[in-house]
Amino acid sequence: MKKATLQSKHETEELKQTLGQVKAQLADIQADYQNLKETHQALQKRQRDQQQLDYAMRDILKNDYGVDKLSHTDVEARYVLYKLDHEEFTENKKEAQSWLNTLTSAREDPDTKIALTRLDQGIEQVKALINRIIELTRDLFKGPSL
Radius of gyration, CA atoms only, the chain: 30
Sign for the CA dihedral angle at 19, 21, 22, 28 comes to: positive
- Residue 126's CB: how many other CB atoms inside 10 A? 25
Residue 134 neighbours by CB under 8 Å, 6+ apart: 93
* pLDDT tens digits in sequence order for the chain, 146 residues long: 889 898 999 999 999 999 999 999 999 999 999 999 999 999 999 999 999 999 999 899 899 988 888 889 999 999 999 999 999 999 899 999 999 999 999 999 998 989 999 999 999 999 999 999 999 888 777 766 55
Can you give the pLDDT at residue 143? 63
pTM to 2 decimal places: 0.63
DSSP string, 64-93: IH------HHHHHHHHHHHHHHTT-----H
* Alpha-carbon gap, residue 46 to 136, rounded angstroms: 37
Packing angle of the helix pair 72-85, 116-142 (nearest 10 deg): 60
